[in-house]
Amino acid sequence: MAFDYIKALHIIFIVTWFAGLFYIVRLFIYQREAYDKSPEEQKILLPTLNLMAQRLWYIITWPSAILTFIFGFWTLSYRWGFTEMGWMQAKLIFVLLLYVYHFICHKIYLDLQQGKVTLSSMKLRMWNEVSTVLLFAIVFLVVLKSLISVIWGIVGLIGLSVVMMLGIKWYKRVREA
């Protein structure tokens, strides 16, 4: 019975973590684009966007990432034999990549909070899709539990990534027109 509650909490914090990751990069894009505005607009936009990013990052995203790890490890402790299964090993690699993504987002967050703009809004839009690709990989691995499916899933992820990049480029052209 305890296992089900722990697993439920793990899933809840995965959802809130991803919500935070999806939205924080959108805020990064808005912050980046605010620097292209007039000084008067920057005076209004930047403090608001910085505060929104700060609250999202430290009140939702970071706690969710930590609690996802805690409840995930706790869930795995009930089914330790899963770590020997190929699909779980692949899933844990993707989860590790998700934490790497999170730490890179933290660096971007700190830079933007200090007024350091290092990435274009286009690069940030592409960066925003990385978490989507990782979400697809992790969910498919957990649901399908198959290495063959992993191979097809990776092929599908590459296809999805290509479609997303084409969509981003199309959106950029539409926006500039």
pLDDT per residue as tens, the chain (177 positions)? 799 999 999 999 999 999 999 999 999 999 999 999 999 999 999 999 999 999 999 999 999 999 999 999 999 998 888 888 888 898 999 999 999 999 999 999 999 999 999 999 989 998 998 998 899 889 888 888 876 666 777 777 788 888 888 888 888 888 888
Question: How far apart (Å, rounded) are the C-alpha atoms in residues 2 and 9?
Answer: 11
pLDDT of residue 74: 95
What is the domain range of residue 58? 2-176
pLDDT of residue 165: 82
The answer to whether 102 is annotated as binding is no
The answer to whether 106 is annotated as binding is no
Joined tokens for residue 106: 């933290």
Give the distance from CA 151 to its chain's centroid: 22
Q: Tell me the HSE value of 68 on the side-chain side, using a 13 A CA sphere.
A: 22
Please answer whether residues 27 and 49 qualify as being in contact, where contact means their C-beta atoms are separated by less than 8 angstroms.
Answer: yes
Please answer whether residues 46 and 39 qualify as being in contact, where contact means their C-beta atoms are separated by less than 8 angstroms.
Answer: no
Please answer whether residues 56 and 113 qualify as being in contact, where contact means their C-beta atoms are separated by less than 8 angstroms.
Answer: no
One-letter amino acid of 35: Y
Question: How far apart (Å, rounded) are the C-alpha atoms in residues 87 and 164?
Answer: 25
Estimate the share of the chain in helix, then strand, then coil, as percent rounded to the nearest 5: 90, 0, 10
Q: Is 8 helix (H, G, I), strand (E, B) or coil?
A: helix
pLDDT of residue 158: 80
Helices (H), 114-146: 121-144
Number of domains in the chain: 1
